[in-house]
A and B are shown apart, each in its own frame.
Chain A
Amino acid sequence: MKNNEARAALLFLAPAIIILSLFFFLPVIAGFALSVTDFDLYTLGDVHNLRFVALRNYRELFANPVFWTAFGNTMYFALAGGPLTVAVSLFAALLVNAKLTRWKALFRTIYFAPVVTTLVAVAVVFKYLYHPRFGIINIALGALHLPQPDWLGDPHFAMPAIILLAVWKGFGYTMIIFIAGLQNIPEELYEAARLDGAGAWGQFRHVTLPMLGPTFLFVGVVVAIGQLQIFAEPYVMTQGGPLNKTLTIVMMMYQQGFKFWRMGYAAAVAFILFLVIGAATLLQMRLGEKR
């Protein structure tokens, strides 16, 4: 009987094991191997041109100021975009979940809608909304007599513009998680706080925030991990410009690997992304334990 079950299990697992090993685990391991070779256009033509170069790709990368620009931009995007997304989504969750709120399901669906939209398509839409002269955003700012920056063309505003798009696109996701967290807070805690004379702010400060606290950090790191992989927004909206101000790690990997075919060098970029995300994940797990 047991033997029979084990044989069945192997058959049930076979498609998953074969596909994951061949098309996921093998490429990931090969990726590390690739990063210590000089795989380039010539190797693509004739594999005999492949040489082991040890850590040369990494040395070159660390000496390349463009890499540090991409690294810094990616960090900027994740460290500004992550917390901002969390803040907006917490605010939205509090409003949608408030006792007085009617049509809760409707508002939840509306705020969540951007999450399911196609990133490339909404990046195209925002590219036009950000147009310095014809874009609705600058027309609205002009009507209010506020400055009208050249959002995607100005080195100081390009990344903030992309961050705004990311917040718009992503806050619904974390909002849903926060709503679930809020619904898990026992009503008695609020009652006790009210008996102690706490107002709305006091209840938020002394009940909601401490009860949400761990979820709060956890969610922030989850968002940041997703944001470290940013690619489509700059690809569609800015091509990494102006002045490389929106060039990101993944975009650099794409350009080096699939535009210039410097695949060994690009693999080193990918490995660094892996390390950064691994570090963020460890942090997330630490926070998860506390939860």
Chain B
Amino acid sequence: MTRRGQSMVLHAVLIAGGLLTLFPLLWMLSASFMSNGESTTFPPHLVPHAATLAQYRALFLRLNIGRAFLSSTIVAATVTVCSVLFGSMAGYAFAKLRFRGREKSFGFLLTAIIVPPQVGMLPLFLLMKTLHLVNTYWGVIIPSMVTVFGIFLIRQFMLSVPQELLEAARIDGAGEFRIYWSVVMPLARPILATLATFMFMSTWNDFMWPLIILSNQSHHTLPVALANLLGEHVLDVELMMSGSVVTVLPVLIVFLILQRYYIAGLMVGSVKG
């Protein structure tokens, strides 16, 4: 086969694969603009014959999905800010401050990575119940406020910050917090962006723990609200598709803007083993 022929076959396969990959998402988007029943007609409509916002109107006006959108935003934003702050503090201490038992305690912390989160969920629920945090945003937020992955990610980055920089600041009389905040943190911006992107997306997409801790509809995050909606509206395909779009679109947009940072985090995660 000629080089030109090879290139054509290669790109044909790549484009076919791309269309296949995007199809479910494109169909979701398209069906969300259809009127009731249009997505199940035969022969099927791939694009709406008369695009309508009726599903989104029902979703926001009648079914109050805006409430779940707000809940998801509050939870994901709080988790992101807290996990970046606490993770960077701990990661900095493990990388740059000298204290006894540093390597041992860090090694112990890393064992947490092999424990599946489900193992702690039953007692965690009982703990939250004791603390009266069931059906509150804090019940979802607190367990994700610090992740071992985040500490690990930041520590690996901070190891490369030159020690002389810190010593120079110390000689200039800067306090430990000041060194962390005004010397180290500005240098760490890329890795902070990575962790922030990671935490925002994983919290937004999280399902099992919010499902357990938020039994009251008023606090449901989008994935929980969507799963709930499916119970009552399983026949309203177009409505469910608009709900799916509302759930997926924010993370897809965040990913498209910040994918450089997200993929960097993924690579660190994959070489840690």
Residue of B nearest to A128 (CB): B237
Residue of A nearest to B19 (CB): A110
B86 near A15 (CB under 8 angstroms)?
Answer: yes
- CB proximity of B167 to chain A, nearest CB, Å: 10
Over the window 220-258 of chain A, the binary record of Cβ atoms lying under 8 Å from chain B Cβ atoms (1 yes, 0 no) is 001000001101100110000000000000100110011
Q: Which of A90-130 contact B (CB under 8 A)?
A: 92, 95-96, 98, 100-102, 107, 109-114, 116-122, 124-129
With a CB–CB cut-off of 8 A, which chain B residues contact A222?
A: 270, 273
- With known contacts A12-B90, A20-B109, A4–B176 Cβ distance under 8 A: yes
A285 near B92 (CB under 8 angstroms)?
Answer: no
The residue from A5, A11, A118, A278 contacting B222, defined by CB atoms under 8 A apart: A118
Q: Which of B4-49 contact A (CB under 8 A)?
A: 6-7, 10-11, 13-14, 17-18, 21-25, 27-28, 31, 39-40, 42-44
- Give the docked Cα–Cα distance between A125 and B227 (Å): 12
The residue from A113, A176, A229 contacting B25, defined by CB atoms under 8 A apart: A113
The residue from A95, A119, A285 contacting B14, defined by CB atoms under 8 A apart: A95
Contact count A vs B, C-beta below 8 Å = 262
- Give the docked Cα–Cα distance between A114 and B121 (Å): 27
- Give the docked Cα–Cα distance between A92 and B23 (Å): 17
A107 near B18 (CB under 8 angstroms)?
Answer: yes
With a CB–CB cut-off of 8 A, which chain A residues contact B195?
A: none
- Give the docked Cα–Cα distance between A22 and B128 (Å): 11
User: Is the C-beta of A76 less than 8 angstroms from some C-beta in chain B?
Assistant: no
Residue of B nearest to A106 (CB): B18
Q: Which of B190-225 contact A (CB under 8 A)?
A: 201, 204-205, 207-208, 211-212, 222-224
- CB proximity of A39 to chain B, nearest CB, Å: 8
User: Is the C-beta of B183 less than 8 angstroms from some C-beta in chain A?
Assistant: no
With a CB–CB cut-off of 8 A, which chain B residues contact A126?
A: 24
Residue of A nearest to B176 (CB): A8
Q: Which of A110-157 contact B (CB under 8 A)?
A: 110-114, 116-122, 124-129, 131, 134, 136, 139
Over the window 78-103 of chain B, the binary record of Cβ atoms lying under 8 Å from chain A Cβ atoms (1 yes, 0 no) is 00000001110110111001111010
A8 near B256 (CB under 8 angstroms)?
Answer: no
Interface size on A, residues (CB 8 A): 89
Over the window 228-251 of chain B, the binary record of Cβ atoms lying under 8 Å from chain A Cβ atoms (1 yes, 0 no) is 001000000100110110011001
The residue from B222, B227, B244 contacting A235, defined by CB atoms under 8 A apart: B227
- Give the docked Cα–Cα distance between A251 and B166 (Å): 50
Interface residues on B, range: 35 or more
- CB proximity of A105 to chain B, nearest CB, Å: 9
User: Is the C-beta of A67 less than 8 angstroms from some C-beta in chain B?
Assistant: no
With a CB–CB cut-off of 8 A, which chain A residues contact B120?
A: 24, 27-28, 30-31
With a CB–CB cut-off of 8 A, which chain A residues contact B18?
A: 107, 110-111
Which of B109, B121, B205 has the most CB atoms of chain A within a 10 A radius of its CB? B121
Q: Would you call the interface of chain A mostly helix, strand, loop, or mixed? A: helix
Residue of B nearest to A267 (CB): B122
The residue from A8, A20, A101 contacting B148, defined by CB atoms under 8 A apart: A20
The residue from A20, A112, A253, A278 contacting B146, defined by CB atoms under 8 A apart: A20
- With known contacts A26-B127, A128-B237, A92–B17 Cβ distance under 8 A: yes
User: Is the C-beta of A288 less than 8 angstroms from some C-beta in chain B?
Assistant: yes
B118 near A177 (CB under 8 angstroms)?
Answer: no
B97 near A26 (CB under 8 angstroms)?
Answer: no
B97 near A177 (CB under 8 angstroms)?
Answer: no
User: Is the C-beta of A58 less than 8 angstroms from some C-beta in chain B?
Assistant: no
B6 near A100 (CB under 8 angstroms)?
Answer: yes
User: Is the C-beta of A180 less than 8 angstroms from some C-beta in chain B?
Assistant: yes
Which of B3, B13, B273 has the most CB atoms of chain A within a 10 A radius of its CB? B273
- With known contacts A34-B123, A235-B227, A284-B273, A122–B212 Cβ distance under 8 A: no
- Give the docked Cα–Cα distance between A131 and B123 (Å): 38
Residue of A nearest to B127 (CB): A27
- Give the docked Cα–Cα distance between A214 and B180 (Å): 39
User: Is the C-beta of A62 less than 8 angstroms from some C-beta in chain B?
Assistant: no
User: Is the C-beta of A63 less than 8 angstroms from some C-beta in chain B?
Assistant: no
B114 near A277 (CB under 8 angstroms)?
Answer: yes
- With known contacts A13-B89, A31-B122, A274–B273 Cβ distance under 8 A: no
With a CB–CB cut-off of 8 A, which chain B residues contact A266?
A: 122
A273 near B10 (CB under 8 angstroms)?
Answer: no
User: Is the C-beta of B115 less than 8 angstroms from some C-beta in chain A?
Assistant: yes
User: Is the C-beta of B261 less than 8 angstroms from some C-beta in chain A?
Assistant: no
With a CB–CB cut-off of 8 A, which chain A residues contact B17?
A: 92, 95, 111
Additional A-B contact list (14), CB under 8 Å, known A12-B92, A16-B89, A107-B14? A6-B100, A16-B151, A19-B146, A28-B120, A34-B123, A110-B18, A117-B252, A118-B248, A124-B240, A126-B24, A131-B40, A134-B40, A139-B43, A231-B207
The 4 closest A-B pairs by CB, nearest first: A27-B120, A8-B176, A30-B123, A16-B90
Q: What would be 12 A-B contacts, judged by CB atoms less than 8 Å apart?
A: A15-B89, A15-B90, A16-B89, A28-B119, A111-B21, A122-B244, A124-B241, A124-B243, A222-B270, A228-B116, A258-B212, A273-B116
